[in-house]
């Protein structure tokens, strides 16, 4: 799933050209997937606890694989976006249960290593997605970025069927269907409002309606959970301090990271003219340090407290994001390394903190809520940072275009949307060569502000990590809470 996200990120300019996507359509290729993920991850975790985590996980992989085939066969932007939604449904189920499967396979004191490996593999997928995406696009059409998911899904299905033990809540409870429906609806509306804000404005009725309605439904969800006899989210989980604070760090960190990925990709491929392959290879400077540090989870644990690993990880990543906003020849590589090391410290430690004290039988919903924070952060990051960056870019472009001759000024007014996504050469072709430097400078203003804001958000996440997780010194030592119910294949 992470592999798919990174491949699609590298392929955004190719998709824009080949399918003639508008800037709004381009954002929806990313956001439609994030929308379904954010809305359905908690539900996927609850279904796993109720019906069996392995069974539900395998179903999610199958849906993701079939939707990938649909994406590859799409012949229009609307068709692609529709299948991206279905991909998100399958991805939500997979994402909601990955940490739960690890939690059920290992006791608390032995989870640091496996969670570190899980984080390292995610980093490797980022590298693989970036590089494989660049290689595929240099030889094959854009559909290849979706076909590559099929063999990976087949291997995942085989491993899950033969090597993963089934587990579920040891004390079966009725499924909280009302809670599932309310949580999915609330997250869907809220995320839709944030995503639509990047296409419209914050004063748009659709944006306001989505955010307000989503917040209202989520308030109703929490009210229902307080009264329900068998709530979807166990009250004991919400009373766990480390869980809520780790979720807050995760949400803030990925809010910043999604904006970072979006703007860095648009700058290097659209504004600076890098090929998809070169852009993919550049991400190795993020991924190799991430992989190297993340797999050393046990050694990091012996030398740093959980709060220090999370806090310093966010601050190091913030330094990388801030440095990337001030572009020089060497900037991308040094800053990629800083962001990679920072996330490699934060992700395993934050994941361990979130799952350390999850109540018995609730690993699925705990994993689902934790990963939902990442997806909500991704969607809101694209909306908030994307809309702020676009607004600053367009304001600067309109000011700069005033210095052009009248004929070129009129043409410049029509290419503002292209400048907002870094298509500076398109703007120059339409408004004249004199517009190239103006368009580049305008895009860089929005780019710089968005990455500085991303750095500030990462600093805030670091503060939450330092202060909110300082009571956790090491993995919680408590008796193994087995919820395995079957070893049948």
Which residues are within 8 A (CB) of 163 and not within 5 positions of it... i.e. 6 or more apart? Answer: none
Q: Is residue 77 included in any domain, yes or no?
A: yes
Q: Is residue 424 included in any domain, yes or no?
A: no
Residue 78, both tokens: 């609307």
> What pLDDT shows up at residue 476?
41
**Rounded to 5°, angle at Cα 206 from 4 and 223:** 80
Most confident of 92-96, 286-290, 309-313, 434-438: 309-313
> What pLDDT shows up at residue 176?
81
Query: How many CB atoms sit inside 10 A of residue 133's CB?
Result: 28
> What pLDDT shows up at residue 315?
97
Q: Can you tell me whether residue 317 is helix, strand or coil?
A: helix
Q: Is residue 436 included in any domain, yes or no?
A: no
Q: Is residue 123 included in any domain, yes or no?
A: yes
Residue 82, both tokens: 């529709």
Average pLDDT of the chain to the nearest whole number: 81
Does the pLDDT at position 25 exceed 70?
A: yes
User: Cβ distance 97 to 370 under 8 Å?
Assistant: no
Q: Is residue 400 included in any domain, yes or no?
A: no
Q: Is residue 404 included in any domain, yes or no?
A: no
Q: Is residue 425 included in any domain, yes or no?
A: no
Does the pLDDT at position 314 exceed 90?
A: yes
What's the burial of 303, exposed, middle or buried (CB within 10 Å: 0-12/13-18/19+)? Answer: exposed
> What pLDDT shows up at residue 426?
76
pTM for the model stands at 0.78
Structural domain count, the chain = 1
Q: Give the tens place of pLDDT for each residue, 380-430.
A: 787 788 888 888 888 888 887 777 777 777 777 777 777 877 878 777 777
Does the pLDDT at position 453 exceed 80?
A: yes
Rounded-to-integer distance, Cα 102 and Cα 89, Å: 21
Q: Can you tell me whether residue 167 is helix, strand or coil?
A: strand
Rounded-to-integer distance, Cα 216 and Cα 206, Å: 15
Find the domain containing 13 and state its range: 2-167+175-393+443-474
- Could you tell me the CATH number of the domain that includes residue 466? 1.20.1250.20
Residues 438-452: b if buried by 16+ CB within 10 A, e if exposed: bbbebbbbbbbbbbb
Question: What does the pLDDT average to over 28-35?
Answer: 78
Does the pLDDT at position 485 exceed 50?
A: no
- Looking at the chain, the whole-number percentage of residues with pLDDT higher than 70 is 87
330 or 263, greater pLDDT: 263
Q: Is residue 414 included in any domain, yes or no?
A: no
> What pLDDT shows up at residue 103?
75
Write out the H or E segment, with its range, that includes residue 259: helix 241-266
Does the pLDDT at position 127 exceed 80?
A: no
Would you give the end-to-end CA distance of the chain in angstroms? 24
Rounded-to-integer distance, Cα 309 and Cα 302, Å: 11
Among the ranges given (127-141, 150-164, 263-277), the one the predictor scored with the smallest mean pLDDT: 127-141
């Amino acid at each position: 799933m992470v592999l798919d996200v990174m491949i699609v990120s590298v392929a955004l300019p190719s998709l824009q050209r080949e399918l003639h996507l508008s800037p709004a359509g381009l954002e929806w290729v990313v956001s439609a997937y994030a929308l379904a993920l954010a809305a359905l991850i908690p539900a996927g975790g609850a279904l796993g606890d109720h019906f069996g985590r392995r069974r539900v996980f395998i179903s999610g992989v199958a849906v993701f694989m079939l939707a990938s085939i649909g994406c590859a066969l799409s012949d229009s932007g609307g068709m692609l976006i529709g299948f991206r939604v279905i991909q998100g449904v399958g991805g939500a189920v997979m994402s909601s249960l990955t940490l739960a499967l690890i939690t059920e396979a290992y006791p608390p004191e032995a989870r640091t290593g496996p969670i570190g490996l899980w984080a390292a593999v995610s980093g490797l997928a980022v590298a693989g997605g970036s590089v494989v995406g660049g290689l595929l696009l240099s030889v094959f059409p854009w559909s290849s970025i979706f076909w590559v998911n099929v063999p990976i899904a087949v291997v995942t299905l085989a491993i899950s069927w033969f090597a993963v033990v089934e587990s579920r809540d040891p004390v079966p409870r009725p499924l909280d269907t009302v809670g599932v429906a309310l949580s999915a609806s609330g997250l869907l509306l809220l995320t839709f409002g944030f995503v639509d804000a990047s296409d419209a404005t914050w004063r748009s009725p659709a944006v306001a309606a989505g955010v307000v309605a989503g917040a209202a439904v989520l308030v109703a969800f929490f009210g229902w959970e307080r009264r329900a006899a068998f709530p979807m989210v166990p009250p004991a989980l919400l009373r766990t301090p480390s869980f809520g604070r780790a979720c807050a760090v995760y949400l803030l960190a990925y809010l910043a990271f999604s904006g970072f990925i979006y703007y860095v990709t648009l700058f290097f491929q659209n504004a600076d003219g890098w090929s998809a392959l070169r852009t993919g290879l550049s991400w190795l400077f993020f991924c190799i340090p991430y992989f190297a540090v993340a797999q050393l989870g046990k050694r990091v644990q012996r030398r740093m407290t959980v709060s220090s690993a999370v806090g310093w990880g966010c601050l190091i990543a913030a330094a990388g994001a801030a440095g990337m906003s001030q572009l020089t020849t060497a900037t991308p590589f040094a800053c990629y390394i800083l962001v990679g090391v920072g996330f490699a410290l934060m992700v395993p430690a934050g994941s361990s903190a979130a799952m350390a004290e999850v109540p018995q039988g609730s690993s699925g919903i705990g994993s689902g809520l934790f990963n939902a924070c990442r997806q909500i952060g991704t969607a809101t990051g694209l909306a908030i940072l994307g809309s702020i960056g676009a607004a600053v870019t367009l304001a600067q472009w309109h000011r700069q275009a005033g210095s052009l001759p009248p004929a070129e000024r009129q043409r410049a007014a029509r290419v503002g949307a292209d400048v907002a996504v870094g298509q500076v050469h398109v703007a120059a072709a339409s408004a004249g060569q004199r517009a190239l430097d103006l368009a580049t400078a305008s895009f860089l203003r929005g780019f710089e502000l968005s990455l500085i804001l991303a750095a500030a958000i990462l600093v805030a996440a670091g503060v939450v990590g330092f202060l909110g997780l300082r009571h956790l010194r090491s993995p919680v030592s408590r008796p193994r809470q087995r919820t395995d119910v079957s070893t049948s294949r």
